Structure 1
């Protein structure tokens, strides 16, 4: 997939287990890598940050708008992609999800999960989704209490793409310390054949010149260069946008975390989420069952049984978008819906309020 995020539709993780089981490796610890270049925006002040978590630290970029609502959105990276998925390196006025939320008055913390980007890369066999969720919980606590000179945030939303969405769901259902959950590239349904095709693009990261110097153990994977677009984006994605994917967005991950990450797609985990939930998928997401991701109504109908009434489930299917919705030609649909949903989820009466931006 020459494109963006190599995050799998939650169901795709089942297929990834096959790859994980085939990799029997001796693991070694790897020190944290340096921070990526800080994004710039006229609407927000951004800084690279590092947050202590079990087995190391999660790196990320904290951006605070000049006029803040007092809410922050934690954005989690997906498998084989970094946090830059949320702040696309080219044409940010169109494709930067982070920038759009900042413009709407919401602070953002785009995080690299352990094993990715600017975060610590522990031995790959030690990296689990349960561990990632615990780290997110500790960061949520720090944000609410104020940390390292940052203000206290009274409202915290957690979101993720694909594998990151599964981690977000696990954290919300386990710790009950957030005010809303955004799940992008996530569903309880999957297209098995396309999922296996995507899995077939994974290769040991140490064989790729992009990551060779990191000294990764053989358990870490990435995608084979030039394969990402076929599985993860829609046919109308701008080639200029795709051109930076392999060089600047593709990253590493451990398939081991797919194992316990599966619990995010198995009842009753998501039914334990007791705050509003928004699920966003692309109409042409090959990893999602075609009938499920055909429309908002079909996605809602398929997903509603997996969530409690307290989730006040809302969905958005972005037309002509693939798995990586942030780089769809109409990515602003996703941006506008999410900003409106955050306001709706945190201010609308439990039994009322419309959400026209997500229709």
Structure 2
């Protein structure tokens, strides 16, 4: 599929940018992260290192080791949401090297910041929920996430078994998906730009570091069976946590899944309206959830202004909601996280039966 084009009108997006720029000018704030974000990054990083060291070198009893493996997965996910995500979008700090350093936390955990940039920043953020382009919708044949995808008989049970595949997401990402993209030179059907020698070195160097830190060294200090059980607990928690947070943002009952016109290859809406129609917020009143998921419960704000740090999303939320009301654009938001989870399950059930 060739990349589609959006509607020519950009009046809504221009108005959003005008109001947002006015807010930052009046408040005298930078669009990047603030002290609270830096403190959070330090807390999460220290916690992750401390738990890792205790697990690998101090050999806690089995019950505590399992609990710490789960905690390590949860803290690792929080680093991904809060540190890596902002860094990869260039919104963690005003300094480029700090953003790159923050984004490289993904590499240490086993992913690839290069592949993430192509898959997430360039494709997903541009063509959200467009089947055939947005790689986040591609869980075939196991899951049917859009009505434009083929349906198989076993999909009628997908609202029950999806947890299993979400649990496997991270381990599949680290050990299969990145390599698939690397050797195919594509994210889905979209080509990847040629990797420089530095890109190649970072990709393979950090993959080797991850194998040493999370496979080789733990096996050496704890034994193969203990490592395997702990590693599966760790990756399961990461997979479930990341899957749920990202899926609640786009694959729920009230989000749209637009497809371009077959003749003109154009989408119906301008880019900003497309982002709002294909995205949903959840639990924006919960400071605990907002802190843990790095503001990704303010997904509408993030998709409209991905280069603005998540610490500013509560303020942007009011500006965008007001603009949507004035322009007659429907704004998707679930007041509680459990409502969004229920909507995601209902979405899977409906697609499985249709």
Q: Which has the higher strand share?
A: 1
Compare CA radii of gyration and give the structure with the larger one. Answer: 2
Q: Which has the higher helix share?
A: 2
Normalising to structure 1: TM-score of the pair?
A: 0.27
Higher RCO (C-alpha 8 Å, min separation 6): 2
Normalising to structure 2: TM-score of the pair?
A: 0.27
